[in-house]
């Protein structure tokens, strides 16, 4: 079995498009994403369970990138740091961007 690493997930940016919400949503109390704040940090272990307190829908959108990084994958040559990737959730009205960083190696015991 290959090495597995933890992945640090940092919230980089929250976007919000109220004009699109006004045009397309039936709800009136449309707000920016309530799940995250810029600077929030979460740790995903190499087994790729959704980190505690992390939005399940956002996890569905980014977990494959976490999996790649946790197994030693890289997005080079597109990134400056080989152990990082920037991705976002797919909420088109209030997307959140995340920085993924390979962390410490997990010590597996069987």
Confidence of residue 32 (pLDDT cuts 50, 70, 90): very high
Q: Tell me what pLDDT residue 48 has.
A: 86
Contact 94, 11 (CB under 8 A): no
Tokens of 36: 């995250």
Tokens of 10: 């940092």
> How far is C-alpha 84 from the geometric centre of its chain's CA atoms?
12
Tokens of 12: 């980089």
Model pLDDT for residues 34-61, shown as the tens digit of each residue: 999 999 999 999 888 999 999 999 999 9
Model pLDDT for residues 68-102, shown as the tens digit of each residue: 999 999 999 999 999 999 999 999 999 999 999 99
Q: Tell me what pLDDT residue 67 has.
A: 95
- Whole-model pTM: value is 0.92
Closest CA to 4 of 42, 49, 40: 49
Sign, CA torsion 20/94/61/85: positive
Q: Which residues contact 48 (CB under 8 A, 6 or more apart)?
A: 63, 66, 67, 70
Distance CA 11, CA 100 (A): 9
């Amino acid at each position: 079995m290959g090495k597995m690493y933890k992945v640090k997930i940092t919230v980089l940016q929250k976007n919000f498009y109220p004009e699109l919400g006004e045009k397309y949503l039936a709800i009136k109390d449309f707000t920016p994403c309530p799940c995250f704040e810029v600077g929030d940090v979460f740790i995903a272990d190499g087994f790729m369970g959704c980190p505690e307190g992390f939005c399940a829908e956002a996890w569905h959108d980014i977990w494959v990138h976490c999996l790649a990084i946790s197994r030693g994958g890289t997005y080079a040559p597109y990134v400056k740091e080989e152990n990082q990737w920037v991705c976002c959730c797919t909420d088109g009205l209030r997307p959140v961007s995340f920085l993924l960083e390979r962390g410490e190696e997990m010590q597996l015991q069987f």
